[in-house]
């Protein structure tokens, strides 16, 4: 995982340079997949006007460059960016590419956080899609999405072994890294990789603390508060061990949960 403040001027081309350097280091360290933060290409707290100006389609110029980075360094990539769809709507999105640069998933943030998100983005549909990458079935969420147990559980029910979460989480919400991510991993019997920003952006002070939640409980790794390339070994053996010890998925009672999906 790449924990970074990114380019201070929020230039996509410079952030792609940062991504390429990180991909080279990740590949040298034996990584199969590199996860970068939410809105990595452009900065997160940039406002509606800037988001509209820099938004790209999922197959735009930045995605083409990212595909080249993935194939050059033989490492799968997942990163956040502002997406413009054919109707002109702007989404807070994340793109997953395999190590050949082929697009696997494009996810649009579903649970928008406060006025900051709602002023810039339309909400995604939350389709809970999964794709095979680095030997595991992976799904995507973005930042606030992972704080909703239903979002992670929907991916688990679709067969996910791993949930990739680009995030831009700010102080004082360190409970997400310390408690919520590992709890979601434990209760849904999968890994959760949570790649955060660090540094500051406008009035936001990002906390870092990128982490990987373990299906057996706790975090496999937990970053500090600065720039860092974080490595974690996610094995099928650890996944199977967690699932053998943990019976939440087997012991679910969907028939008693109906009211949870009703309107407020």
Tell me the average pLDDT of the chain.
96
Confidence of residue 257 (pLDDT cuts 50, 70, 90): confident
Confidence of residue 163 (pLDDT cuts 50, 70, 90): very high
261 or 112, higher pLDDT: 112
Report the share of the chain in percent with pLDDT over 70: 99
Q: Per-residue pLDDT for 26 more than 80?
A: yes
Q: What pLDDT score was predicted for residue 263?
A: 62
Q: What average pLDDT does range 194-215 have in this prediction?
A: 97
b/e per residue 65-74 (b: at least 16 CB within 10 A): bbbebbbebe
Confidence of residue 221 (pLDDT cuts 50, 70, 90): very high
Query: Could you list the active site residues?
Result: 38, 109, 143
């Amino acid at each position: 995982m790449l924990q970074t403040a990114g380019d201070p001027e929020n230039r996509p081309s410079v952030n792609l340079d940062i991504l390429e350097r990180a991909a080279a280091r990740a590949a040298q360290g034996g990584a199969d997949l590199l996860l970068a933060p939410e809105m990595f290409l452009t900065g997160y707290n940039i406002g509606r006007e800037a988001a509209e100006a820099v938004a790209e389609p999922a197959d735009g110029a930045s995605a083409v460059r990212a595909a080249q980075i993935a194939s050059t360094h033989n490492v799968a990539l997942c990163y956040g960016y502002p997406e413009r769809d054919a109707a002109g709507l702007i989404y807070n999105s994340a793109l997953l590419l395999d190590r050949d640069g082929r697009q696997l998933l494009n996810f649009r943030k579903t649970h928008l956080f406060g006025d900051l998100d709602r002023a810039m983005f339309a909400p995604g549909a939350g389709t809970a899609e999964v794709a095979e990458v680095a030997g595991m079935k992976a799904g995507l969420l973005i930042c606030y999405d992972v704080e909703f147990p239903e979002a992670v559980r929907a991916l688990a029910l679709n067969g996910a072994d791993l949930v990739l979460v680009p995030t831009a989480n700010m102080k004082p919400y360190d409970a997400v890294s310390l408690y919520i991510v590992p709890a979601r991993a434990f209760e849904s019997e999968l890994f959760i990789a949570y790649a955060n920003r660090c540094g500051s952006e406008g009035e936001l002070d990002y906390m870092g603390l990128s982490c990987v939640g373990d299906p057996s409980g706790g975090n496999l790794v937990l970053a500090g508060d600065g720039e860092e390339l974080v490595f974690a070994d996610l094995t099928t053996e650890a996944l199977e061990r967690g699932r053998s010890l943990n019976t939440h998925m087997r012991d679910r009672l969907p028939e008693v949960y109906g009211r949870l999906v009703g309107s407020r």
